Structure 1
Amino acid sequence: MPDWLNILIRSLVSIVFVFLLTKLIGKRQLSQMTFFEYTVGIALGDLAAMIADDLSGPMYKGILAMSVYAGFPILLGWLALKNKTVRNFVEGKATILIKDGKVMEDNLKKERMSSDELLEHLRLKNAFRVADVEFALMEPNGKVSVLMKSQNQPITPKHLGVTVAPETEPQTVIMDGKILDESLATRGFNRGWLNTELSKAGVLLENVFIGQVDTNGQLFLDLYDDLIQVPQPQTLKLTYLTLQKCQADLEIFALSVQDAAAKRRYEQEAARLKQVLNDVTHLLTC
């Protein structure tokens, strides 16, 4: 067999085998690697290159070595799932860097982290003052988690005692100028509704790169031509303005009628609609 053909076959076999092994090891090998997994990945790459290049040795020896290197982290991962002691030994434990607003200098030294590095990690979490941080720790994967003091945390609807409607995943109904009927039906709409919304926006279907419908049934469009400004959906705001007009009309009717019973009825309905407006203002004006 010619050397070039032998190298080609060995390369294809090693690449396919590396792909299968990395799939077995799992996605953590790509996204949240521990130091051990990182070294295993390098070793697998080196072994794969050796299999392709070393024509003097049989291929099965390299494949066996790769299997051992890949099997060991798989075994450790399985043991870590079953036993916390093994998990702490393999993956490590989180280290407290800041507690009750105080920097833990001894733990910084233990993690070989300088004060400049700590401040950099805090800035990446939008914490520019150590005094604003209640708690910070270094995770086993090397990332720093930060909990701000309560007075420095952003205000949420829960803090204000406001109940908001749950958000669901937006549905992509147009992609590359093509309508996705299944996603459109998931939101309870059809092509007629979509064409009407496109007409309101003054946009042709073939000019739309991506179109998404949110929880409230509003259509957001991104066009191929980035210079064209697409008007933002106004469905919620128009609904709010319509309710305001209805409430104002009821108050006007209450002032204009002479019949006492009718006047009282209009006033009651106007008050009820005003209460409804107060309840949904934060939903319709966001």
Structure 2
Amino acid sequence: MPDWLDIVVRSLLFLAILFLITKWLGKKQISQLSFFEYVNGITIGSIGAEVVTGIEQKISLGVIAIVTFAAVPFLAGFLSLKSKPFRDFIEGKGSVFIKDGKIMEENLKKERYTTDELLELLRRKDVFQVSDVEFAVLEPTGDLSVLLKKENQPLTAKDLNLHVAPINEPQTVIMDGKILDEPLSTIGRNRSWVKTELEKQGVTVENVFLGQVDSYGQLTIDLYDDLLQVPSPTEKPLILATMKKCQADLELFALGTENNEAKEMYSKNSEKLQKAIDQVEHILRN
């Protein structure tokens, strides 16, 4: 076999082997690396490159070496699940950089971080003033986790004592001009419903690049032609308008009747409907 063809075969073979090993080790190996996994990955890559380019090297020996090095982080990960001291030794522990709003200078020196580097990490979290931070820890992966002081945290619905409906993940029902049946069945819809919604917006499915259904059952679309204007969904505004009209009608009925029982009934139902409107108005307006 010519040398160039031997190298091509070796390259394809080891590419497949490394791909399978990475899949075997799991997604954690590509999302975040500990010191041990980082060194192990470099070693595996070096072995693969040496065997691929070293024609005199036996392929079988390279495969054995790579499998051996790949088995080590697998076993280390298994032991880490069983033992926290071992996990702390292999993966490391987080270092507190800011506590109770104060910078821990000793921890900065221990991790060999300068003040400028700390400020850079904070800016990556959209924090530009140290005094806004209550707690910050450098994770073993090198990422900085930041907890802002209570007064600097954004308001939530819970802070305002608002009860909001749970939000489900949007379902992609149209992609590249084709309707996807599986997401539709997940939300209890069908192709006829999609076509009806598209007709309301005056478009055909072939012109839709992407279509998604939100947790409120509304279909939003993105067209291939970005110059075309698509009307916004009107279901929620119509529901809000209908509720307000009903509430106003109940008030009119209460004012227009001479029957005291009917007047009281209309007034109570008007108040109940107004409370319901107050609870859902912020949802139906968005």
Under TM normalisation by the shorter chain, which class is it?
A: over 0.9
SS in 2 for 1:196: helix
Distance (Å, rounded) in 1 between the aligned partners of 2:15 and 2:184:
41
Aligned to 1:95: 95
Alignment of 1:160-239 (within 5 A): 160-239=160-239
Cα displacement string for residues 260-285 of structure 1 (whole angstroms, at most 9, x for unaligned residues): 33333222221221122122223222
Distance (Å, rounded) in 1 between the aligned partners of 2:189 and 2:71:
50
> 210-219 or 189-198, which moves further after superposition?
189-198
Aligned to 1:262: 262
Q: Are the counterparts in 2 of residues 29 and 38 from structure 1 also a CA contact under 8 Å?
A: no
Aligned to 1:137: 137
Distance (Å, rounded) in 1 between the aligned partners of 2:225 and 2:169:
26
> 236-245 or 62-71, which moves further after superposition?
62-71
Aligned to 1:108: 108
Q: Are the counterparts in 1 of residues 34 and 92 from structure 2 also a CA contact under 8 Å?
A: no
Distance (Å, rounded) in 2 between the aligned partners of 1:86 and 1:182:
44
Distance (Å, rounded) in 2 between the aligned partners of 1:181 and 1:59:
47
Cα displacement string for residues 146-181 of structure 1 (whole angstroms, at most 9, x for unaligned residues): 000111111111111222111111111111111112
Cα displacement string for residues 27-47 of structure 1 (whole angstroms, at most 9, x for unaligned residues): 222110123322322222221
When the two structures are superposed, what TM-score results if normalisation uses the length of structure 2? Answer: 0.94
Q: Are the counterparts in 2 of residues 136 and 145 from structure 1 also a CA contact under 8 Å?
A: yes
Amino acid at match of 1:95: S
Distance (Å, rounded) in 2 between the aligned partners of 1:227 and 1:111:
52
Alignment of 1:243-254 (within 5 A): 243-254=243-254
Matched, 1:122 2:128: no
Aligned to 2:52: 52
**Shift, 1:142, TM fit:** 0.4
Instruction: Count residues with an aligned counterpart.
Output: 286
**Any unmatched runs of 5+ in structure 2?**
none
> 25-34 or 95-104, which moves further after superposition?
25-34
Distance (Å, rounded) in 2 between the aligned partners of 1:266 and 1:276:
15
Cα displacement string for residues 205-235 of structure 1 (whole angstroms, at most 9, x for unaligned residues): 1111111111111111111122223222221
When the two structures are superposed, what TM-score results if normalisation uses the length of structure 1? Answer: 0.94
Distance (Å, rounded) in 2 between the aligned partners of 1:54 and 1:85:
41
Q: Percent identity?
A: 53
Matched, 1:38 2:38: yes
**Shift, 1:73, TM fit:** 1.6
Cα RMSD for the two superposed structures: 1.6
**Shift, 1:197, TM fit:** 1.5
SS in 1 for 2:159: coil
Distance (Å, rounded) in 2 between the aligned partners of 1:175 and 1:39:
41
Amino acid at match of 2:42: I
Matched, 1:68 2:81: no
Distance (Å, rounded) in 2 between the aligned partners of 1:79 and 1:269:
64
Aligned to 1:273: 273
